[in-house]
């Protein structure tokens, strides 16, 4: 199977964690897109009754297109499950997220959910986080000062993320920097804490102690990895 077919298989398999009556966080990215498409099909054809909370404007638009009822997180008393993608996950199920520039909203939704299911293909499974550049959302105010502070703290190259040759602006009106640490993040909790101490940092793309299950697609098919196994 090619990579896209594997993503689709994993995205659809993750829907097994969604039941009628649930409030569901809807993640962002190329794999969880297939989860949203399948949930929309189940809403239309199987009368699945859910309320979705999107983590980005792109996810909101797709969910509306396929007929998933949506609500603001503030209108609900928490979520039953969030299904999202990841850029990397390690053996402790710590994650790097933010490749789609939605890390702030994704983390707010994940922290509000009783459980987190991640859909991924085998390329995202690593021994140590950091080969994928760590996304960090920063305020536009004096962003170069914040960028230099991050470089000093992490001791690595940090690049402003661009879109169409201009600084990428998130759904929240902030910028993204990508820290090229390499696979060195052996203590992601400490790294997150230190970065959040910098005043210009809004949020860090380290999702620590949130993921419970990974639905993993590989050349051998889809497998379910549960934290603690």
Q: Which residues are catalytic?
A: 106
Q: Which of 97, 86, 87, 73 is nearest to 204 (CA)?
A: 97
CA distances from 38 to 10, 27, 157, 190, 221 (A): 11, 14, 40, 37, 18
Q: Would you list the DSSP string of 193-215?
A: HHHHTSTTEEEESEE-S---EEE
SS3 of 62, please? helix
Yes or no: say if 182 and 156 are a contact pair by the CB < 8 Å rule. Answer: yes
Yes or no: say if 136 and 146 are a contact pair by the CB < 8 Å rule. Answer: no
Pairing mode, strands 221-226 and 213-218: antiparallel
């Amino acid at each position: 199977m090619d990579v896209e077919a594997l993503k689709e298989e994993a995205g659809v398999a993750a829907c097994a964690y969604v039941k009628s009556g649930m409030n569901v966080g809807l993640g962002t990215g190329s794999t969880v897109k297939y989860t949203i498409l399948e949930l929309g099909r189940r809403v239309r054809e199987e009368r699945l009754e859910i309320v979705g909370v999107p983590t980005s404007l792109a996810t909101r638009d797709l969910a509306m297109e396929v007929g998933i009822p949506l609500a603001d997180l503030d209108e609900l008393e928490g979520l039953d499950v969030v299904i999202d993608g990841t850029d990397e996950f390690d053996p402790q199920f710590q994650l790097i997220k933010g490749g789609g520039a939605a890390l702030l909203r994704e983390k707010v939704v994940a922290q509000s959910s009783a459980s987190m299911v991640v859909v991924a293909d085998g390329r995202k499974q690593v021994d140590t986080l950091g080969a994928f550049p760590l996304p960090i959302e920063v305020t536009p105010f004096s962003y170069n000062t914040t960028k230099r502070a991050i470089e000093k703290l992490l001791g690595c190259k940090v690049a402003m993320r661009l879109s169409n040759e201009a600084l990428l602006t998130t759904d929240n009106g902030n910028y993204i920097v990508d820290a090229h640490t390499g696979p060195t993040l052996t203590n992601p909790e400490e790294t997150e804490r230190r970065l959040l101490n910098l005043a210009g940092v809004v949020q860090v793309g380290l999702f620590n102690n949130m993921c419970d299950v990974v639905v993993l697609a590989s050349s051998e098919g889809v497998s379910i990895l549960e934290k603690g196994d």
